[in-house]
Amino acid sequence: MRNADILSEVTTPALVVEHSALERNLDLMAAAWPARRLRPHVKAHKCSELARRQAARGHVGFTCATIREVEVMAAAGLGEDLLLANEVVDMRRLGAVVDGGARVTVAVDSDVLIDAAVAGGVREVLIDVNVGLPRCGCAPDDAGRLADLARRRGLGVRGVMGYEGHLMLVAEPGERRTQTEQCMMLLRLAHEAVGGDIVSGGGTGTWKSNEWVTELQAGSYALMDTAYAAVPDVPFEQALTMVATVISVSDGWAVADAGLKAFGMDHGDPALPGSSVWYCSDEHVVFSMNDGTPLPSVGDRVRLEPAHIDPTCALHEQMYVVDGDQVMDVWPIDMRGW
């Protein structure tokens, strides 16, 4: 529900989405990875209204990172094919979503999680394979055994999943593609032992270099951040920015009201075009201007670009969809929490 008609009336700090840039990002990815070839990852934006725009382009299968995301997507009528691409020990809430009519598939990488899927009422799994990122995933040569066990326990095994997340920000495109191929050969070998129709993986950073998966799990492409914008051959636009208000100006620097509590900081400070960001503290971002540009005045608005979109969105309750300075809509970030 809109509580402002123009951007200057919005309380800051606030997440702002340029509608036209978002639409171009969605269209560009849909052209490259049409329909079910893309399984958008909703953890990037945690917003069911944005997910509806992705579904409208034919992407009716979605990737989730938390049980809460699965529950909200199903409740929003977007539960045709939900993948929880994360290991979960207690799946009873997921079983309730399945009983409600949604299709839920869960990534598993151990005997314990297969038992948890059966106990929780989940009916379908993907075997999660470690393809080089030292996180979750079974050894590639154990994938077939796990698939056999899952089938003996009455579960449907839809295929395999392997996330080459450690390659998303590799700068040199040729090197990124070579390393992606090496990771995907491990996943393909696992798939030969597992079977099923799905080979799932990839992300915004490997949207162009991963030609081996049957479905791409990209999410950040829709809104983007400065970490991905720095990667060559990732052409999506910065659709989301943080509007902040300048609250103090000194001799050589200015301060705006968006700090550590407004941004995910694991990939570094936010960026402000035409300026140098000095640092962020709890409620403040301190910056100076480049090339002799005058500092803004107290009360002026600035548009900051987050370095990592996923944790930034998780800190906010809503995003303002704008056309220039006009507020078109306000979308709840309704998939926060666990």
| Span 243-257, pLDDT tens digits | 999 999 999 999 999
Would you place residue 4 in the very low, low, confident or very high pLDDT band (cuts 50, 70, 90)? confident
* 206 and 241 part of one domain: no
pLDDT at 1 over 70: no
CA distances for 106 relative to 33, 39, 103, 128, angstroms: 22, 14, 10, 9
* 198 and 300 part of one domain: no
Residue 41: what pLDDT?
98
The reply to whether 295 falls in a domain is: yes
* 243 and 212 part of one domain: no
Residue 17 contacts residue 239 (beta carbons within 8 Å): yes
CA distances for 16 relative to 32, 43, 174, 312, 313, angstroms: 26, 18, 34, 12, 11
Tally of structural domains, the chain: 2
Whether the pTM exceeds 0.85: the reply is: yes
pLDDT > 70 fraction of the chain, expressed in percent and rounded: 99
* Domain closes at, from 182, 217, 252: 217
Residue 292: what pLDDT?
86
